Amino acid sequence: MELEVTLLGTGVGIPHSGRAQAGLVVRAEEPLLFDCGAGALLRLAEAGLSPLEIDVVLLTHLHLDHVSDLLALAKARWLMGANEISVFGPDGTEAWFEALRSLYPYLEELDVSITIVRPGDEFSLSGLMIRAGEAVHSLPALGYRIESEAMAAVYSGDTEPAASMRKLARGADLLIHECSFPEPFVVTNHSTPLWLGGTFRGAGVKRIVLTHLYPQTVGREEEMVRDVRAGLADETKVEVGRDLQRIGV
């Protein structure tokens, strides 16, 4: 089974032109939405997807730039006659969602199923095997490996380049990994190009797409690709992702 990934949002909490906040869709039997930051709902429409097609959402963590359109998506489905949605996410997801929904009494009739996911969990959705790995961020955070019978794609969410992410991505056909800042920024909880490349050197990843780009990356995209490849020291294909980009796996 082939996979198709559509990048909905490749930006961050600080807006800059052309990049919505975090979100991507993986399509196999049915589309799965990973993260749902501000602008993701509009990007879904621009990608030709109706909210009615998105009944499963997997969250990497609960920062606003990854979750702020989730309630809006659930409401859009409700307005269109679909009352149910399933949400998978890290510890705290249920408490966060219910606290937010409680502010809007008319949405209490939404039928929302929430499943807490922890690093190491494996489960099947839409004919795909999903495995969660631990991300290194400022609050509980996950990365996800999505596998068909023959293909594997990994989405890092927000994280430092970490041994846990390297393990999750080993041998993957596609790694969508955050790379928030160019060199020579020194950061925690996020990734920079040389650090990212060095972490995944020898991991057997075939293609890396960089996402979660801060405004400081504008105009430095080619340089960032070169720096990631310098860290990798191999022939892995590296590119900067863009909103609405479709990637076949």
pLDDT at position 28, please?
85
pLDDT lower than 70: segments of the chain? none
- Which domain CATH number covers 137? 3.60.15.10
The model's pTM: 0.98
Average pLDDT, the chain: 97
Question: Where in the sequence is the domain holding 120, given as residue range(s)?
Answer: 4-248
pLDDT at position 29, please?
84
CB distance 127 to 148 below 8 Å: yes
pLDDT at position 2, please?
82
pLDDT at position 235, please?
87
Query: Would you list the DSSP string of 155-195?
Result: E--S--S-HHHHHHHTT-SEEEEE--S-TT---SSS--HHH
The count of structural domains within the chain is 1
